[in-house]
Amino acid sequence: MSFAAATAMDCTTPGHYRGTIAEGWDIAGNANGGYLLSLAARALSHHTERPDPVTLTAHYLRPGRPGPVSLECETVKTGRLFATVSGRLADAEGKPMLALLGSFGDLAQPISDIRRLDGAPDVTPLEECNRHLGHVQAEEPAAGNGAVPPAFHSKVDLRLDPRDAGFLTATPSGDARMRGWFRLRNDEPMDTLALLTALDAFPPTIFNANLPVAWTPTVELTCHIRSRPPADWLMAQFTSRFVSGGMLEEDGELWTQDGELVAQSRQLALLPRG
């Protein structure tokens, strides 16, 4: 199933949508958080009549399992550049999974030509990142509750930087960092909704920080989309600086191969319980 089909949402009445959490987009039975965000964002985009999420925040209230979902949304404000909308994604029983607030616009053209970037991250060239998480050898140890790779990683094309893949063989680097490359499978074109999934597609940073390799539940995820992505691989980097109070932050960046920033994220997550 393509990403577009797996995130399809149908409008039943204005502000009300129905869709399905597709099979296979999960990690140990729970739908990937970025995939859930893309699913909800497709409905919010349709509601605002703006194609691109510019900033989108989601609070994760309970895990998502495969099956029917509904979304209710309400326009907060419609302006010249952005339309802001709130929403709630719920399961088949009406129990809320995500509470959302986002601004949508049209990123076909930049709002301004002013640019100042610190530079793209240090990621090993794609041709040297041969470890595709969708094809990890069965003899390698399981990362957390469930098989390696998780089902989700068979739905996307994700290549880990070899320097950050040590956790797969119980030899973590010690740095709370994940780098690598991302694209959709089967040459499916990337859009700004797919960037939301990409920003939560990599293994948690703390898998390399000599901490338990287990489920790291998301509390809140905010994504900032800067531009539409090219139909090509994206460079990715995720880092964590602070682990305290039973929580950690994870800062993400997605870049084109030409060194253009397309998206950023910050996620607050709970530490694995071991």
- CA–CA distance, 11 with 43 (Å, rounded to integer): 8
State yes or no: cis peptide before 68, omega within 30 of 0.
Answer: no
Give the pLDDT confidence score for residue 137 in this predicted structure.
Answer: 41
Residues in the chain predicted with pLDDT less than 70, given as ranges, are 130-149, 274
Q: Which two tokens stand for residue 149?
A: 């790779």
pLDDT at 247: 93
Rounded Cα distance between 20 and 35, Å, is 12
Give yes or no for a contact between 24 and 33, defined as CB atoms under 8 angstroms apart. Answer: no
Q: What confidence score (pLDDT) does residue 134 get?
A: 56
Q: Which of 132, 134, 136 is nearest to 151 (CA)?
A: 134
pLDDT at residue 92 in the model? 94
Nearest to 66 by CA among 94, 34, 36: 36
How far apart are alpha carbons 143 and 15 in whole angstroms?
39
Please state, in angstroms and rounded to a whole number, the distance separating the CA atoms of residues 104 and 55: 7
Give residue 193's pLDDT.
98
Q: Are 178 and 160 in contact (CB under 8 A)?
A: yes
Paired with 235 in beta bridges are 181, 255
> What tens digit of pLDDT does each residue of 209-265 get?
877 777 789 999 999 999 999 988 999 999 999 999 999 999 999 999 999 999 999
Whether the Cβ atoms of residue 24 and residue 5 lie closer than 8 Å to each other: no
pLDDT confidence of residue 116: 80
pLDDT for residue 272:
79
* pTM of the predicted model as reported, rounded to 2 decimal places: 0.92
Structure confidence at residue 132 (pLDDT)? 62
